[in-house]
Amino acid sequence: MAYFLALASAALYGAADFLGGLASRQASTIAIVLVSQAAGLAPLALLLFVLPGTPSGQDFTWGAIAGLAGSAGVALLYRALAIGTMSIVAPTTAVCAVMLPVLVEGLRGERLPPVTQGGIALAIVAIVLVSQQDSPESPDPRSGRRIFSAGIGLALASGVAIGLFFLALAQTSAAAGLWPLLASRGLSMLVFGAIAGSQGVRLDRHVLKIAVACGVLDMLANALYLLASRGGPLSIVVTLASLYPASTVVLARVVQGERLSRRQGIGVACALAAVALIVSSS
């Protein structure tokens, strides 16, 4: 059941990221994040009623840490998705997000099997491949001149932050129920509310609907991941949840018609294969 919940969270994360990136192309990223974060409170209130718990102070602390890391990761990701190619940004972020928890578990004493080590190596190769695109200054594709894709630096930073979010949220106790998510969401809203205070939040109705849908899906994904992390090994749950680029890439292909170069396509395949290797070896 834990693995099914993790995969379900991945599907919802990917859809939420696609909507967040789409909305951020039409309005301020800070405004989109703030509105989506607020929209997530409605399903959270219902889930807290359905799945009550008795959280401790430590649970709220880890939830707050997750909120800081997660809000930073989401803001960076939405901005990267807004200025870059979604089919490249999403896998790059996911590879970083899955590598961090696995490496931390290794430092804690968990022995990494050869297949996991191979998956990490393949992940690094994937980052290099998907991070490149043909240089506009080099019209001849045979020249081999490459530049880094737009938003790739933000995607890498986002991946690290999301990895920290996964780690922090997994430290909460099962008895806490979903209350750590309230601490996480509350703190992130305070942060982005303060940032948006000087800018204002102005969204037209179409973009507002996208941002609200994004927030609802993201909160449902958070809840599924939190439940999954308490029912199975963290290394496996995190890597399954990190398969979210699959739905982002599919939606970007179907809705936006995004196309990849051959090298970038191989990189995306390597990123997904790297995650699969880490899961299988765990």
Structure confidence at residue 65 (pLDDT): 93
The mean-pLDDT minimum among 69-83, 159-173, 195-209 falls in 195-209
pLDDT (mean) for 226-249 = 82
Confidence of residue 268 (pLDDT cuts 50, 70, 90): confident
Structure confidence at residue 9 (pLDDT): 93
E strand or H helix at 22, and its extent? helix 2-24
**Is the separation of the CB atoms in 88 and 268 below 8 Å?**
yes
CA atoms within a 13 Å half-sphere pointing along the CA-CB vector of 88: 27
Tokens 């191979």, residue located: 118
CA–CA gap between residue 253 and residue 268 (Å, rounded): 13
Domain boundaries, the chain: 2-281
Answer yes or no: is pLDDT of 138 > 50: no
* 159 vs 258, residue with greater confidence: 159
CA–CA gap between residue 186 and residue 111 (Å, rounded): 36
How many residues are there in the chain?
282
Confidence of residue 137 (pLDDT cuts 50, 70, 90): very low
Structure confidence at residue 145 (pLDDT): 46
Answer yes or no: is pLDDT of 146 > 90: no
Tokens 């491949």, residue located: 129
pLDDT (mean) for 258-274 = 79
Count other Cβ atoms within 10 Å, centred on residue 43: 17
Answer yes or no: is pLDDT of 174 > 50: yes
pLDDT in tens, 66-114: 999 988 888 888 888 888 877 778 888 888 888 788 778 777 766 667 8
Confidence of residue 133 (pLDDT cuts 50, 70, 90): low
Mean pLDDT of the chain: 82
Q: Rounded to whole angstroms, what are the CA distances from 203 to 75, 143, 192, 198, 270?
A: 17, 44, 16, 15, 38
CA–CA gap between residue 154 and residue 12 (Å, rounded): 21
pLDDT (mean) for 273-281 = 76
Confidence of residue 264 (pLDDT cuts 50, 70, 90): confident
